Amino acid sequence: MTASSSLDSQSVSLSQKDQEFIDGLIAKHKDQPGMLLSILEEIQDSQPHRYLPMGVLDYLAAKVGLPPAQVYSVATFYSLFNLKPQGEHTICICRGTACHTRGSRNLLERLKLQLGLKEEEEEGSADKLSATTPDRRFTLRTVACFGQCALAPVVEVDHTILGHVNERTLEREVRALSKGKRA
């Protein structure tokens, strides 16, 4: 299949507005180092649920003349990219050694209970987990390390690093987010 026939078959799934947006990003970043990363980041930021739909990846690949597998491999290699819709709020729990020895596993298990996440909603293992609540209010993720070991256990809530987190603190943060305000 040629790039143009692939493009024709994929363009049906994207709105004209989405196509024009992506085309504009390609023009904006043309011939720049890291072009693909910059474009993927801007596309994800423009999505209501901060993710990269497959149709968008296919369209982008065809427009920049790359195999879809190459664009997909970039999107899956970097942890900042999401291939599934994310929640309104994101909570990341560090699973590094310092955080693990100071109770991050307990934080993770407690938070899964508090959010009502079930095993079938989780992707990955405790060391690399990503799960979004059915109402899309929260996405719970784990990361290998934030590099903030002196603050262990570390949790990131909506891109804000919290150190020395205990179950009560985390529960309070989530309750505040549920009510529309931060603790």
Quote the pLDDT of residue 1. Answer: 37
Quote the pLDDT of residue 134. Answer: 92
Quote the pLDDT of residue 123. Answer: 62
Q: What is the pTM of this model?
A: 0.72
H helices present in 48-165, as ranges:
54-64, 68-77, 97-101, 104-115
Quote the pLDDT of residue 182. Answer: 62
Task: Give the other-Cβ count within 10 Å of 167's Cβ.
Answer: 14
* C-alpha closest to that of 130 among 120, 142, 138, 118: 142
As given in the structure block, the two tokens for residue 107 are 């934080």
Tell me the per-residue pLDDT of 111-128, one tens digit each, with 9 for 90 and over.
Answer: 999 999 976 556 655 557
The Cα–Cα gap between 40 and 18 comes to: 13
Quote the pLDDT of residue 9. Answer: 40
Quote the pLDDT of residue 121. Answer: 55
- Give me the domains of the chain, ranges plus CATH numbers: 3-77 (no CATH), 89-178 (3.40.30.10)
- Phi, psi for residue 131 in degrees, rounded to 5: -145, 140
Place of tokens 């407690």: 110
Quote the pLDDT of residue 159. Answer: 87
- Which contacts (CB < 8 Å, 24+ apart) does range 17-23 have? 18/56, 18/59, 19/59, 21/46, 22/56, 22/59, 22/60, 22/63, 23/63
Instruction: Tell whether omega for the bond before 33 is within 30 degrees of 0, i.e. cis.
Output: no
Residues of the chain with pLDDT under 70: 1-12, 119-127, 181-183
Tell me the per-residue pLDDT of 116-162, one tens digit each, with 9 for 90 and over.
Answer: 997 655 665 555 788 999 999 999 999 989 999 999 999 999 989 99
